[in-house]
Structure formats: structure tokens, C-alpha cells
Amino acid sequence: MTVLVVEHSRVQQLIIKAMLREYKLDSLVVDSYEKALSEIRSREYHAILCASRLPDGKGIELAKQANVSQGKELLFVLLTTEDTREFLNEAIANGVSRVISRKDAYALQNIIKELVDSDDDAMAAIGHVLLIEDNRTMVQLITAMMKVSGSTCDSCADGNEAIAWMERESFDLVITDYYLEGDLTGLDVVRKIRSMPDEKQQIPILVMSGESSVEKRVEVLVAGANDYLIKPIVEQELRARAGNLIKQKKLLDRVIRQQNRLKELAMTDQLTGLYNRHFLTQMVPGKLAEAHRHGFDLSLMVIDIDHFKAINDNHGHEVGDRVLKAVAELLQTNCREEDMAIRLGGEEFLFILPYCSPAAAKEKAEDFRQKLEALMPCKLKVTASFGVTSLEKGQKKPFLELFNAADQAVYEAKNSGRNKVIYHSLS
């Protein structure tokens, strides 16, 4: 789905683009009436978000031209500061779908969400289908039926080939005949798919057969198939059943994405984007157990920004927040893939460093200390005190003992002048 944004204000452009990007919508931004007119005459757009006043024309006139050029039902949203009844009537009469205030970001976000939801509904029954069928005529017939529905369809005649294909690619639906070439039946394919790892095992399966016995249908459904279709195939029935199964699969995918997003939000500090205390309690014990099990070094670094209360008191909490974000960004840019940066709260951070020896951890802390001292966020000199400790190969210690050692090292750094690295050995 592509959205055309017609807006001359640079600030408004950035706000709208950020909203569209949040909902993973493609967009093109132009800043004049003539550029917009050229675009709507040369390609198709699903929606247009347009300022009512442009340097070289009016948004209402562009709406009239857009509805003629696009040749389909178009969502045209006009952003304006005018709210008179006469203006609204003129806008609607010329093809404007919605009129909202330029200052109402909440209303604009709701419109974008409605646009995404409507597109999701339209696309819900369209997917990528794997057809397992050894009759070439039937393959051509079913492939054509899926194409009419908007779905793409790959086919093979052998169950083993189908399983190998599924391991490489993602599908929204499997349609399989009961009797196949090779040593696997459709029933075997169902069982193998249901024993696959992760989300692969959840893919919907429609089994086709010329046998109409209740026993055969029950056998297939008990094995894990979602539906059973008796040959000869009726096009409308196949498309309806396939569409319903694809919709169910996409709905499940959406729920899983939402759950994962909620988990991510629950474990992420909203100000800095780093992991939070919840992540610490949920995930770090597992990393420590892994270090115990495989015998690798794991280091901890506690970082406490020096005199942070004075920054808030003298410059305000907004500046304090910007300082915290800058420190977090510096942490993230110095992370290896396996490292974990956590905001413990306030001005205190924790760095978990798997596969990091005591010498490497001290070197990393000193490097970070120097980079922070040179950073000058908000044109302020910001420093921090660092406490470092390490779980060395062969040692088995609980996480609390590691954290306490690093935390005590931070207090020692604070009490001995700040802006320094102190290392405490567990031994």
C-alpha cells in the first residue's frame, strides 16, 4: 500500500512520514500541487494526505483531479486549519473523503490505522499456497483457481519434496491430495508438518480426496488437517475454504506479532530503548546458567552517571532525559551482538558482557568512560562511575553475587572521586 503525502511544511512532512513508517506503509512526499498532479496521473495510490493550502494550488482542487485520474475509490484526507460548514461542504463535493485539523495528530493516526486495517481485511484471504498434487491437469486447474483469488501457488507431486520446500520457504496454506507420488501419502505429509518446529507446524492444511467415507475424513482431521475436500473440485467451494484457512492463519500471525510486541514493550525502557529491570529478571539468569554450563567468561559493568541530580536541578528534567538518551545511545553503539545493555532505573545502567574476560571488561569500561567524557550531550560535560566484575571460566556464582560486586565497585568509584573504573574480583 502506497500513500502520497502532499505537504509543503517540512515539520509536517516529518510527522506524517513517521506515522506512516510506524504502520509500515510506503509513502512518497511532494511539496507542491504540480508535483502531486504529475504523480496521480502517472501511478496509482491507495490514499492521499494533502494540505489544504499549497504554494501553487489548493488541496480541494487536487482532490477533484485525483478522483478523476485514479479511476477508483480513493481515500483523500485534507489537512486544514479551516472549520467552517461552507469549507467542509465544498471539500466533500469535490471528492475529499475526510477533513481533519492540521494540529490533530491523534485523528490522523486513527485514519492511518483504519487504512491499514482495511488493507489487512482486503488482503486477508490472499496468500502463498503450496499445492501437493501428482495430476498435472489438476495442478493447472487449482493453480488457476488460486490465481483468480489473488493467491500465488507453487506445486510439487511428492510429499518429501513438499516437506523440503516448506523448510526453505514460508506458506500460508498447504493443499494436498491424499494419494501422492513417492512413499508419503497426504496423511503422512499432515503428520510431518504438525511435527515441524516453531510456527511451521501451525500452517493450515486442506486435504483433497475422491473418497467420501466418514472414516477417511475423521482420520485426516485427527492427524491435524484443518479441512477435507471431496473431489471433484467445485471452484467456488475450494476458493471459499482456502480463503477462510488463509484468513485464520493471518489472524494467528497477527496475534503472535502483537504478543511479541507486548513482550518487547514489557522488557524495554520507553525513554532510552534499552532493556529494563523486567528483562533483567526474566532473561539474565538464563545467560548466567549458559555461562556456567559452557564455561565461558561473563562480565558485568554497572554504570552510574555522576552528579545527575544536579543536571536535573540546574537544567531541567527534559535536559536530563536527553542526557540519559545520549548515554544509552553510546552504550548501544558499543554493544556486540551478544551484549545486553539495561537501564536499571534513574541514572544507573547495567552492561552484561558474555564471552568477555576481566581484562577485556576493564578495557571496555575505560574506553566507554573516555567516550562519555568526550560526548558532551546538551553541551554538558557528563561523566560516570564504573563498577566491573567477572564470572571467570569454571566459577559458579549466583547473579546477585556478581551484581553486588559490581555495585560495590561503583560505590568505591563514587567515593574516590568519580569518573573512574573500579574492578572487583569475585575471588
Element (H, E) at 114: helix 105-123
Judge whether 187 and 178 are in contact, CB under 8 Å: yes
Judge whether 23 and 116 are in contact, CB under 8 Å: yes
In whole angstroms, give the CA distance from residue 287 to residue 291. 6
Judge whether 369 and 394 are in contact, CB under 8 Å: no
Judge whether 301 and 364 are in contact, CB under 8 Å: yes
DSSP string, 176-212: EESS-BSS--HHHHHHHHHTSSGGGGG--EEEEES--
Helix, coil or strand: residue 316: coil
Sign of the Cα torsion 222, 223, 229, 230 reads negative
Catalytic residue among 82, 133, 337, 347: 347
Residue 79 grid cell: 489537512
Q: Strand runs (DSSP E) across 224-323, as ranges?
A: 227-230, 298-305
At which residue does the C-alpha cell 480463503 appear?
Answer: 243
Asked if 219 is an active-site residue, the reply is: no
**Maximal C-alpha separation, the chain:** 85
In whole angstroms, give the CA distance from residue 424 to residue 407. 9
Based on the number of CB atoms within 10 Å of its own CB, is 398 exposed (0-12), middle (13-18) or buried (19 or more)? exposed
- Side-chain-side CA neighbours of 296 within 13 Å: the count stands at 12
Judge whether 343 and 275 are in contact, CB under 8 Å: yes
Tell me the catalytic residues.
347
